[in-house]
């Protein structure tokens, strides 16, 4: 569920007051700390902000809350300065132009229907100086403003969570099957809070969910392939999230990539044929030779693969897949126009030495093609294009390369810590990023 304006456990980015968005940055104040009032008549609105004004070393993963009695909340603003890795978060967070660092740290929150309680959506930057300014009015329209200033606890040395790598890279154009893959530099125990800190948005409707493969790799996959020709953005609001006891996210990151045309390749093992369809139309059909199949090692894996990387030239060495140099089955070959589709040594590549292309499966597990055909496939392939092998007796494992589409959608959801789909054209994520108060 997204877009709730009344349930603090779910987030609505930019929840509005009087039809306008409330932009916040975290801070806390006690009742009436720094209050100023304007207007006449009636008892003034009482505003309370937590954590309290003057608090030092506040936990970054506890939400800011603003409460109002004898009136309603009209505006909340949060500013954070300093903090982050090496204290380099900009001083003007939340007010810089779109695309600048400050834009990644703008705070939003949920305002309840009665407009008497506001709860921040995201965690705070560790080691930051925070200012929260809250405004409310009483029934007679008299306005009160409360300002609270506090600081958050810095991250302990060696305990700052950040990214080791991510796929795709920013600005990349990818195939319709491409997941979002985030590799962290430290193990994550609180997987639900971490994945809820990452918001995936797309221009065209989709729903997706996260699965984890080990404690450092999280993968977001839509229910169905992405619709082609659209932008996808990933806002990783990791600053302040407690990934594991004592391990806290240090900074926010943003990733934008483009989904290109839809290209789906099907390899028929029995017919020794590859068919490439683009935007629903068959554009090429190639003769191929797959793995010879006399052992599991030399059987091409069956199922839904994704193309992962490609090389104009590369050396294929059997020792990298468990066949040591000097053994009877050892090989070391220079190959051209190679496209990887698993982590068990499988590529589609040129094999001019294979006289059985189109008639028999005699490779060590790769898809062998003529040089001309392999070059075309190499040149026309994007990372994340679905590559479907049919007819072999060795099923692709879900964690072999990017075999994530091998899980049905029901199984994918069942393996998600939240257990709920996330609609990518709606604001927010399925659950809370915060820890226990």
**C-alpha–C-alpha distance, residues 94 and 434, integer Å:** 20
What is the gyration radius of the CA atoms in the chain, in angstroms?
A: 27
For 64, the domain range is: 16-151
Mean pLDDT of the region 326-348: 87
- The region, left, alpha or beta by phi > 0 then psi within -120 to 50, assigned to residue 341 is alpha
Mean pLDDT of the region 395-409: 98
**C-alpha–C-alpha distance, residues 237 and 228, integer Å:** 26
> 222 and 324 share a domain?
no
Residue 239 in tokens: 């600053």
Residue 248 belongs to a domain: no
Residue 296 belongs to a domain: yes
Give the pLDDT band (50/70/90) at residue 308.
very high
> 317 and 384 share a domain?
yes
Residue 65 clears pLDDT 80, i.e. is over it? yes
- The pLDDT value recorded for residue 40 is 54
Model confidence, pTM? 0.86
> For residue range 122-133, what is the model confidence (pLDDT) as tens digits?
999 999 999 999
- The pLDDT value recorded for residue 42 is 75
Domain boundary among 116, 151, 186: 151
Strands 163-167 and 46-50: unpaired
- The pLDDT value recorded for residue 84 is 67
Mean pLDDT of the region 186-210: 97
Domain boundary among 109, 124, 151: 151
Give the pLDDT band (50/70/90) at residue 329.
confident
Lowest mean pLDDT among 9-23, 212-226, 390-404: 9-23
- The pLDDT value recorded for residue 30 is 33
Residue 91 clears pLDDT 60, i.e. is over it? no
- The pLDDT value recorded for residue 398 is 98
Q: Which residues are catalytic?
A: 349, 366
Percent of the chain at pLDDT above 90? 78
> 272 and 190 share a domain?
no
Mean pLDDT of the region 302-326: 85
Residue 288 belongs to a domain: yes
Residue 5 clears pLDDT 60, i.e. is over it? no
- The pLDDT value recorded for residue 20 is 29
- The pLDDT value recorded for residue 2 is 33
Residue 331 in tokens: 């090989």
Within a 10 A sphere around the Cβ of 395, how many other Cβ atoms? 14
Residue 43 in tokens: 């008892």
Residue 225 clears pLDDT 50, i.e. is over it? yes
> 179 and 145 share a domain?
no
Q: Is the C-alpha dihedral spanning 96, 98, 103, 109 positive or negative?
A: positive
**Domains held by the chain: number:** 3
What length is written for the chain?
437
Q: Mean pLDDT over all residues of the chain?
A: 87
Residue 160 in tokens: 């700052």
> 386 and 416 share a domain?
no
CA-based nearest residue to 381, from 347, 406, 358: 347
Residue 27 clears pLDDT 80, i.e. is over it? no
Residue 9 clears pLDDT 60, i.e. is over it? no
Give the pLDDT band (50/70/90) at residue 18.
very low
Mean pLDDT of the region 363-374: 97
Domain containing residue 67: CATH number = 2.60.40.3780
Residue 147 belongs to a domain: yes
Residue 326 clears pLDDT 80, i.e. is over it? no
> 185 and 202 share a domain?
yes
Give the pLDDT band (50/70/90) at residue 88.
low
User: Degrees (nearest 5) of the Cα angle 264, 269, 272?
Assistant: 90
> 144 and 213 share a domain?
no
Q: Which residue has the higher pLDDT, 415 or 33?
A: 415
Tell me the three-class secondary structure of the chain, residue by residue: CCCCCCCCCCCCCCCEECCEECCECCCCCCCCCCCEEECCCCCCCEEEEECCCCCCCECCCCCCEEEEECCEEEEEEEEEEECCHHHCCCCCCCCCCCCCHHHHHCECEEECCCCCEEEECCCCCCCEEEEEEEEEECCCCCEEEEEEEEEECCCCCCCEECEEEEECCCCCEECCCCCEEEEECCCCCCHHHHHHCEEEEECCCCEEEEEECCCCEEEEEECCCCCCCEEEEEEECCCCCEEECCEEECCCEEEEEEECCCEEEEEECCCCEEEEEECCEEEEEEECECECCCCCCCCCEEEEEECCEEEEEEEEEHHHHCCCCCCCCCCEEEEEEEEECCCCCCEEEECCCCCCCCCCCCECCCEEECHHHHHHHHHHCCCCCEEEEECCCEECCCCCCCCHHHCCHHHHHHCCCCCCCEECCCCCCCCCCCCCC
Residue 92 clears pLDDT 70, i.e. is over it? no
**C-alpha–C-alpha distance, residues 360 and 214, integer Å:** 39
User: Degrees (nearest 5) of the Cα angle 41, 45, 51?
Assistant: 160
Residue 297 clears pLDDT 80, i.e. is over it? yes
Domain containing residue 340: CATH number = 2.40.440.10
Mean pLDDT of the region 233-239: 96
Mean pLDDT of the region 54-77: 96
């Amino acid at each position: 569920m997204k877009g709730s304006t009344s349930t603090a456990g779910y987030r609505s980015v930019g929840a509005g007051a009087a039809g306008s968005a409330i932009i916040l940055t975290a801070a806390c104040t006690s009742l009436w700390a720094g209050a100023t009032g304007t207007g006449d008549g009636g008892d003034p609105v009482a505003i309370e902000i937590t954590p309290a004004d003057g608090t030092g070393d506040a936990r970054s993963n506890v939400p800011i809350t603003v409460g109002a009695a004898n009136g309603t909340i009209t505006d909340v603003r949060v500013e954070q300065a300093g903090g982050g890795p090496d204290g380099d978060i900009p001083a003007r967070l939340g007010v810089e132009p779109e695309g600048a660092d400050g834009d990644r740290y703008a705070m939003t929150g949920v305002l309840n229907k009665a407009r008497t309680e506001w709860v921040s959506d995201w965690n705070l930057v560790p080691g930051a100086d925070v200012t929260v300014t809250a405004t409310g009015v009483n029934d007679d329209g008299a306005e009160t403003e409360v300002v609270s200033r506090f600081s958050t606890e810095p991250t302990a040395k060696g305990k700052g969570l950040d990214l080791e790598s991510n796929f795709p890279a920013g600005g990349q154009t990818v195939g319709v099957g491409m997941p979002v893959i985030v590799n962290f530099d430290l193990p994550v125990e609180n997987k639900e809070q971490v994945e809820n800190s990452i918001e995936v948005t797309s221009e065209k409707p989709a729903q997706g969910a996260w699965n984890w493969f080990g404690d450092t790799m999280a993968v977001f996959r839509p229910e169905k392939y992405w619709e082609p020709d659209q932008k996808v953005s990933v806002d990783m609001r990791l600053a302040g999230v407690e990934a594991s006891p004592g391990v806290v996210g240090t900074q926010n990151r943003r990733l934008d990539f483009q989904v290109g045309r839809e290209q789906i390749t099907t390899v028929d093992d029995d017919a020794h044929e590859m068919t490439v369809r683009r935007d629903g139309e068959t554009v090429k059909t190639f003769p191929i030779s797959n793995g010879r199949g006399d052992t599991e090692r030399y059987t091409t894996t069956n199922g839904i693969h994704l193309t992962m990387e490609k090389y104009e030239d590369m050396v294929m060495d059997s020792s990298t897949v468990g066949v040591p140099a000097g053994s009877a089955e050892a090989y070391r070959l220079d190959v051209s126009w190679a496209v990887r589709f698993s982590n068990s040594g499988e590529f589609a590549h040129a094999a001019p030495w294979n006289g059985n292309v189109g008639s028999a499966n005699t490779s060590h597990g790769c898809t062998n093609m003529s040089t001309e055909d392999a070059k075309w496939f190499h040149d026309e392939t994007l990372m994340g294009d679905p590559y479907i092998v049919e007819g072999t007796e060795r099923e692709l494992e879900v964690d072999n390369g990017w075999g994530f589409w091998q899980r049905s959608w029901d199984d994918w959801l069942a393996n998600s810590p939240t257990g709920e789909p996330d609609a990518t054209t709606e604001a927010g994520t399925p659950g809370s990023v915060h820890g226990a108060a």
